[in-house]
Chain A
Amino acid sequence: MTTAAAPVAGSDASAEKPKRGKSSVDNDGWKVAIWFLLPSLIGFLVFYLIPTIRAIRLSFQKVSILNPAAATSVGWENYTDIMEDADFWNSAWVTLQYVVINIGIQTVLALGLAVLMSRLTESLIVRATILLPWILPNILVGLLFLFIFDPTVGIVAQVFKFFGFDPIAFLASTTWVIPALALINVWKFTGYTALLFFAGLQTIPKMLYEAGSIDGATEWQMFRSITIPLLRPILALVMVVSLIGSFQVFDVVAAAGGGVQGSPGDPLGKSRVLYLYIYENAFLFQNKFGYAAALATILMIFLTVITLLQLRLLRADQSDLA
């Protein structure tokens, strides 16, 4: 396992080869392939494709979650309503703020941490410790920080008091709720992301830096002209995954940001992220299930566009190291 990292980044380039290669023996066709693909094909059809089609159909209907059988078709009404729905635009804006803060801080911190580690230590304990938050369930993390941020009994409030500041109810404040939620997520994923970057750094040939220092380049110059460009493929990959994940943030908000009935928070809808708004429409509001499906369709289209854009960036940069 210690030699696990044998295949090097950029193996995608070699990956294209076998497809075009001669190997005539592999002209097996579906007769053979179907046996290998059958389970996953069933999984794909049953749990992704058919439900997606069903959900898209629902987005053109007025339907109550309580009684999905009694649906009436409403054409494009759900979509036109969404365009005029102030709550939708609010939730889109809130989500965007969350994504920007989350991805921004997390990427910078993780990158710094990865560079720090690659310079200082390969200690397993260090790496395992910073990975710890990642293995904890979101719900658990949400509850943990709900307590930590509690303005009366939470430790953050005590620290504020110690330094003579008034405690802030972070998760109930219209100003702070999104940054606080984003920070919770940063806490959970920075170590994980740093390890991904760390792995990427390991693949950068050491001699590039040696050559750099011989040429008298400063640390910062080398970071900008060697580390960043060579790390870009992994940077892009991590960004795609983080972005898709961040736009769909739900668990932490449900556990710590409130909003889903009764829990503290969701101050004036300032933590009503898109997923939460979809959830509310689907489950809490009357006859809005089709509306929720339309919201989800829009989110899906948006995510597709983002992914395609990002993948294009990723592909363009792939040959940097090869």
Chain B
Amino acid sequence: MSKNALWRLLALLCALAMVASACGGGSDDAAEDSADTETEAAEEEEAMEDEEADAEASEDEEAMEEEAAAGDGATISYWLWDGNQQPFYEQCAADFTAESGINVEITQFGWADYWDGLTAGFATGDVPDVFTDHLARYPEFIDAGVLVPLNDFIDADGVATDIYFPGLADLWVAPDGSRYGLPKDFDTIALVVNEALLEDAGLTLDDVSNLDWNPTDGGSLEAVAAQLSVDANGVRGNEDGFDASDVVQYGFMSQTNYADAFGQTGFSMLTGANGWDFLDTNPWGSVYNYGDAEFTDTIGWMASMVEKGFSPDSETLAGTGSDTIFDAGQAAIMPDGSWKIGTWSTSENVDAAFVPTPVGPSGNRASMFNGLADSITTASENPEAAWEWVKYMASPACQETIGAGGVVFPAIESGAKLAEEAFLANGVDVSAFTVHVDEGTTFTFPIAGQAGEVSNIMGDAIDTVIRGEGDASTISAANDEVNELLAG
């Protein structure tokens, strides 16, 4: 009897596995037929196109069949993290394949897992040929020698590097002159405001469109933030009897968790407007300036906002997540990046508008100017084909495809225009983001090594201050620590 029991169990396990595999395969019929020649990713690509446009899909299939006949169509693997952009890059890839005969296999991972996977992949050589690179990470990659310099390719093909928005391309040049990426897009910061909450407070969009700010009294930003903060009894932050310990609606909220060294959608538009720079020189600085009064004063002001109840505290922010709070209509103003335009303009819960970030003591507003690029890994077995794909993504053709999608701003002006139009066509005014580019009030993402550890150390120090458990000296001590780290 017991012998039978074992076999029954094993049989059941096997049967379950077989049934499941049948289910998995059956969910997309095309899968099994073409399994030997193509990977799942390529199939999904096809499936997606089928839905988007039948005519185009059949063209692609023809193109693929031709290559299969030729039998020499190289395949390039490509990773990205933004699922919102994936459909448009699939489109780019299809066009590219039709043009060059090179297949592209696109894989998308969530942000955190993207970098974990890439890191583990570099350790073992199991990385894609091409991947979307980030300024915070690429110094480390260069240091380890895992990226292919593009200079020779660029020279050989005579590719122009000056067709992008000024400054974007240079971010990807190492101190020795090697270039490790061609820009694909850019992003800037604006304030997202909840219009319904403005109305409740008797404010209009005009009242928040030209804000100013300083770390001493917070300027008009703090004034409207106070007016937009509401406690459980309905008392506003600028009225008597406001209970800072029981706030149901925050006037101003950092989008980034406080424990973040770069504060792209947290403190950076304020510290920038306060005339502060992250590094002694950027890119490739060797000394961080977190100890400066311009910086610590700004963080001190943010801590005071928390204390006054105009901004959520660390626990609320990290615990719930700024986007959830904003979406629930519990915060009125929040800085956010241009890559989130789509998220907020299509939100069902909030009526969001975008206004420029405040003007600071420096006399200007400021926005971090971050740009992504595509890099080629040294593990790539076919760097030539990889380069063709990188070149295509950096070309007006692909960037216009991406731009027309209205998800991000491409790095080429013609693409960015299309993006702006696509947003406008959807009734979204994005001038609050582009104003930084038009007026030249951008500063670039800090580029230096050890970003991971810097982020841990500084993030904790900043959060300590916000939690009221530390002061400026906490931050300068952490600054010494990160500079020691940079010095090696």
Chain A interface (Cβ < 8 Å from any Cβ of B): 1, 64-68, 70, 149-153, 166, 168-174, 258, 260-269, 280, 283-288
Contact = CB atoms under 8 A, between A and B. Distances in A.
B460 A66 contact: no
Contact of A286 (B112, B319, B453): B453
A280 B2 contact: no
Contacts of B320: 150-152, 169, 264
A64 B463 CA distance: 29
Given A67-B145, A68-B123, A172 B2 contact: no
B8 to A, nearest CB: 11
Contacts of A260: 112, 116
A70 B450 CA distance: 18
A160 to B, nearest CB: 13
B74 to A, nearest CB: 25
Nearest to A170: B319
A43 B330 CA distance: 56
Contacts of A166: 246
Contacts of B26: none
B315 A172 contact: yes
Most buried by A among B2, B315, B450, B453: B315
Contacts of A264: 257, 318-321
Contact of A67 (B122, B321, B325): B122
A261 B122 contact: no
Interface string B93-112: 00000000000000000011
Contact of A66 (B5, B116, B141, B449): B141
Contacts of B467: 174, 268
Interface in B291-339: 314-321, 324-325, 328, 330
16 contacts: A64-B143, A66-B122, A67-B122, A68-B123, A151-B316, A151-B319, A168-B315, A258-B318, A261-B111, A264-B257, A267-B463, A268-B460, A268-B464, A284-B115, A284-B452, A286-B451
A269 B460 contact: yes
A64 B119 CA distance: 10
Given A64-B143, A267-B314, A268-B467, A284 B119 contact: yes
Contact of B318 (A1, A169, A284): A169
Interface string B447-463: 00111110010001001
Contacts of B259: 266-268
B112 A66 contact: no
Interface string B214-238: 0000000000000000000000000
B60 interface: no
Contacts of B144: 64, 66-67, 70
B452 A265 contact: no
Contacts of B328: 152
Contacts of B319: 149-151, 169-173, 264-265
A64 B451 CA distance: 14
Interface in B115-167: 115-116, 119-120, 122-123, 140-141, 143-146
Contacts of B450: 285-286
B444 to A, nearest CB: 21
A67 to B, nearest CB: 4
Contacts of B120: 65, 283
A283 B116 contact: yes
B463 A268 contact: yes
Given A169-B318, A172-B314, A263-B112, A280 B452 contact: yes
Contact of B119 (A65, A70, A287): A65
B111 A169 contact: no
Contacts of A174: 467
A14 B116 CA distance: 50
B112 A261 contact: yes
A173 B469 CA distance: 13
A150 B467 CA distance: 20
B315 A169 contact: yes
Nearest to B118: A66
Given A64-B140, A169-B316, 14 more contacts: A66-B141, A66-B144, A151-B319, A171-B319, A172-B316, A258-B318, A263-B112, A264-B257, A267-B314, A267-B318, A268-B259, A284-B453, A285-B453, A286-B140
A152 B116 contact: no
A285 B451 CA distance: 8
Interface in B1-39: 2, 5
Contacts of A64: 140, 143-144
Nearest to A283: B119
B452 A286 contact: yes
Contacts of B317: 172
Contacts of B115: 261, 284
Contacts of B143: 64, 286-287
Nearest to A264: B318
Contacts of B5: 1
A66 B324 contact: no
B461 to A, nearest CB: 9
A267 B464 CA distance: 9
A262 B318 CA distance: 10
Contacts of A150: 319-320, 324
Nearest to A87: B456
A287 B145 CA distance: 13
Contacts of A1: 2, 5
Contacts of B119: 65-66, 283-284
Interface string B372-412: 00000000000000000000000000000000000000000
B63 to A, nearest CB: 36
A174 B122 CA distance: 34
Contacts of B460: 268-269
